[in-house]
Structure 1
């Protein structure tokens, strides 16, 4: 029987909230970003709202101008472990850098989380273009293409390690004195340009086989990466037409890699600012906008383009800047698309993005927000969204208490958890070990 397509919702727990000024809001706790209880509390609200998963961004460096904005500083897998113990259904996705990690450590860490959570884990693989992060590992930023070459090999090694145990390899038979079936555990003997890994992994498969892979790049290299390895993409959807084009292009690349086009879930990021009436929405927007540090926002947008923009007139049209060849290509393109579509001044751009970078922000009443999500979902521009509430946790509570019931009433979103694993919830098939498949073909 064909499964009815339903909307997917993740919450991206961005420290105090998506708005750069979130930590300064009257209802916010400035220390929330370094308090694990804040993440646990927010995750519990998401689980109450029957969300698919929570998502943790990460960057292995102290953010620029951190004295003026809260940041994700806690190590994400440690934070996930705390959340796993406090929740029962919510998926658990965290970001790691393929540029400054080793695949064996990451494969072991996330497979451990997947086992202890009962198959609820995903890993967001990113290639890091941040100079401060590079310096923390005694390196310089790798050229864009080389970063992605390393990232693709990293993903390949992850999958080989997760596949190195077949289903049934852990026997646990006391009578026959057989704990493991050694014939179902395989060395991977990987030797490539960036990594040399013998394997096998030191852990068996989880209820969902292994963690899902998420990818968050919108460049050509990023799309190729996603088409080859990703189960879900965290994309930047500036408007519906561009999002439709992105999803169409992504699915064509998925097919070119010999995969089913339905085997990948498209989840654009979406900032939300919601209140019960239009008047309250405007008050909330004005309050958060007034608390944005303009110097910080100018510097942050300048960082997107690799330029110092402090000399620009905030009330003049934002210039058509060149896309940086070796930096945040996706967010730079998204920012320019916002500018071109709205003919925005620099100041208007800052407020439209909430002092952030690149992601679309929807501002409105619960009904209006639900209408927006439904339109994108029905058009195929999105399978769901990585939501980034303006302030956490109260922005998420507003969504859960007032938007989710509308989506449920329209038959777009679940009213209860039926699936056990994150992979099942995204409608993805459970993977079989490539080594088991190879042995069946040679038999």
Structure 2
């Protein structure tokens, strides 16, 4: 992505972001664990000129203890570990960036930096890292904890984690390896650096046993709208993945992150805001609506009610799903749902329970668009040009079915408008995202 171009990532959530994606007649129901499925998706991303593919992750099978959540009807429960999967995909792609989601709470910075730096070398400078701090009790239990650590603790650890990670990336100067066969010298001791980090959370000597990554420092992706999350993004992130359902909320989030940068000595162009968007695209408005309606019809009520429960809505089992949403108070200690944009929409439109869970499953509690290529491009252009986004992560309802529609129909429209390049420019993910170079802390 050259300066002035809209960034574009493809977020691959196994078979798609729609919860009934696996039931689509053209989808491979077992694609979660089928490497060929991901090869197809990655090559489709390259065909469309995407800057990166993005793999979400949580190291747990969540919410099995809650009978209101019908996890047995969801396809995203089993998945590949993202760094391993992207390492394999690096061998069958040439240009597209590779961004795994990795936890700063449940990983050690030495091991994680080792894995990601290796991925950057294997891919020729195409790796990134989406850093998350973890919010799931199920994930905490998989790492020996009885409760999720507090937000302050997790984000404090994450900040130190990033500092250690960048220090380890700088273990070797870029020219530390003369590999001189005549003299027998493979590497230069003067160009090796011990980190010797001693902090509150980590004590790491170093150096890393992998040469400095081709990008210098891998681009860091983050997300989250809590105060701690936004401070972490402003301090450490290169790309922020947002989830706002309307342009007003997106502009406010955009300004909230960019407005924090100065106190960390950073400029607005150093952080790219790339919210998620779920597009249903058709050659006509009716064709797009038919695709959307077909997906919505695949949502079983048990699944729909479970989606509401997992998103902090009350348990509506036993109520008429085609009746109005009951006024049920949140359980003690449960995050309030009444102030969410979706609840505001529910009250405004007088939704039924069915319509509410269809809105959640359809992805439109984030940004969603149902329309022609021009209609989708209009929304993206307005967000891009009016301070709501620097780019987008495409959350395809069914991957690769709907992603193929986006590549065939929307990408040419964005290119026609001068919002996307005709091909790949720049050899690394950092270059394509328009991010500044990342010199070593030891550079003269």
| Residues 311-330 of structure 1 aligned to structure 2 (within 5 Å) | 314=321, 315-317=323-325
TM-score, normalised to structure 2, is: 0.91
| Inter-CA distance 158–330: structure 2 relative to 1 (3 Å threshold) | farther
Q: Distance in 1 between matches of 2:348 and 2:271?
A: 29
- Residue equivalent to 1:79: 85
| Residues 227-246 of structure 1 aligned to structure 2 (within 5 Å) | 227-246=234-253
Which one of 271, 281, 291 corresponds to residue 288 of structure 2?
Answer: 281
| Residues 319-398 of structure 1 aligned to structure 2 (within 5 Å) | 333=340, 335-336=342-343, 339=346, 344-354=351-361, 356=363, 358-398=365-405
Q: Distance in 2 between matches of 1:324 and 1:267?
A: 34
Task: Determine if contact 1:231/1:264 at 8 Å carries over to the other structure.
Answer: yes
Task: Determine if contact 2:62/2:139 at 8 Å carries over to the other structure.
Answer: no
Following superposition, the deviation at residue 352 of structure 1 comes to 2.2
TM-score, normalised to structure 1, is: 0.91
**CA RMSD after TM alignment:** 2.5
- Residue equivalent to 1:127: 133
Which one of 102, 109, 127 corresponds to residue 96 of structure 1?
Answer: 102
List per-residue Cα deviations over 1:14-37 (Å, max 9, x = no partner): 111111000001111110111111
Which one of 254, 268, 274 corresponds to residue 261 of structure 2?
Answer: 254
Is the partner of 2:91 in helix, strand or coil? helix
| Inter-CA distance 284–132: structure 2 relative to 1 (3 Å threshold) | same
Which one of 122, 127, 152 corresponds to residue 116 of structure 1?
Answer: 122
For the pair 1:70 / 2:75, whether they are aligned, the reply is yes
Which one of 174, 182, 189 corresponds to residue 182 of structure 1?
Answer: 189
Following superposition, the deviation at residue 348 of structure 1 comes to 2.2
Is the partner of 1:246 in helix, strand or coil? helix
List per-residue Cα deviations over 1:62-91 (Å, max 9, x = no partner): 244442111151010111011111110000
Q: Distance in 1 between matches of 2:10 and 2:337?
A: 21
| Inter-CA distance 151–255: structure 2 relative to 1 (3 Å threshold) | same
Following superposition, the deviation at residue 167 of structure 1 comes to 1.9
Q: Distance in 2 between matches of 1:73 and 1:34?
A: 6
For the pair 1:59 / 2:55, whether they are aligned, the reply is no
Is the partner of 2:90 in helix, strand or coil? helix
- Residue equivalent to 2:8: 9
Following superposition, the deviation at residue 372 of structure 1 comes to 1.0
Following superposition, the deviation at residue 191 of structure 1 comes to 1.8
> Which segments of 5 or more consecutive residues in structure 1 lack a partner in the other structure?
none
Higher helix share: 1
Q: Distance in 1 between matches of 2:386 and 2:332?
A: 32
- 51-60 or 313-322, which deviates more: 313-322
Following superposition, the deviation at residue 326 of structure 1 comes to 9.1
Is the partner of 2:392 in helix, strand or coil? strand
> Which segments of 5 or more consecutive residues in structure 2 lack a partner in the other structure?
64-69
Task: Determine if contact 1:166/1:205 at 8 Å carries over to the other structure.
Answer: yes
Is the partner of 1:100 in helix, strand or coil? coil
Which one of 123, 135, 148 corresponds to residue 141 of structure 1?
Answer: 148
Following superposition, the deviation at residue 312 of structure 1 comes to 6.0
Q: Distance in 1 between matches of 2:309 and 2:238?
A: 32
- Residue equivalent to 1:298: 305
**Number of residue equivalences:** 434
The ranges of structure 1 where at least 4 consecutive aligned residues each deviate by more than 6 angstroms after the TM superposition are 320-327, 329-332
Task: Determine if contact 1:119/1:422 at 8 Å carries over to the other structure.
Answer: yes
Task: Determine if contact 1:143/1:326 at 8 Å carries over to the other structure.
Answer: no
Q: Distance in 2 between matches of 1:331 and 1:360?
A: 19
Q: Distance in 1 between matches of 2:268 and 2:125?
A: 23
Following superposition, the deviation at residue 43 of structure 1 comes to 0.8
Q: Distance in 2 between matches of 1:193 and 1:335?
A: 40
| Inter-CA distance 317–156: structure 2 relative to 1 (3 Å threshold) | same
Q: Distance in 1 between matches of 2:331 and 2:95?
A: 41
- 206-215 or 338-347, which deviates more: 338-347
Q: Distance in 2 between matches of 1:323 and 1:46?
A: 42
- Residue equivalent to 1:193: 200
Following superposition, the deviation at residue 317 of structure 1 comes to 4.1
